[in-house]
Amino acid sequence: MHLNWTALGEVTAVSIGVTVAVVVVFALGVLGLARLEGARQQPGGTSALGLGQAALCFLACAAVVAYGIYLIVPQLHPGR
């Protein structure tokens, strides 16, 4: 049995990198929600920026999860 250590290392590095990126983007989404909540507690304050930041970050996280599911489930691949 032959193992392709280079490919295994590449997969490991990409997996760790994507995991860290998703965690950072999710944390930025939580920060956006915190900004929104902080703005709502002030009289007359609204924060469309916080809501937009949270929405974009959570949408990006959902897209990464959906792409991962697409890669794992073979029935989703057309033409195979």
Note down pLDDT in tens along the chain; length 80 residues. 889 999 999 999 999 999 999 999 999 999 999 988 887 777 766 678 889 999 999 999 999 999 999 999 988 888 76
Domain ranges (residues) in the chain: 25-74
Rounded distance, CA 28 to CA 51, Å? Answer: 11
Position 47 scores a pLDDT of 75
Cβ atoms of 49 and 56 within 8 Å: the answer is no
Cβ atoms of 34 and 49 within 8 Å: the answer is no
65: Cβ contacts below 8 Å, ≥ 6 apart? none
* Nearest 10 degrees: Cα torsion 56, 59, 11, 20: 50
User: pTM score > 0.75 for this model?
Assistant: yes
**Structure tokens given for 41:** 């507690």
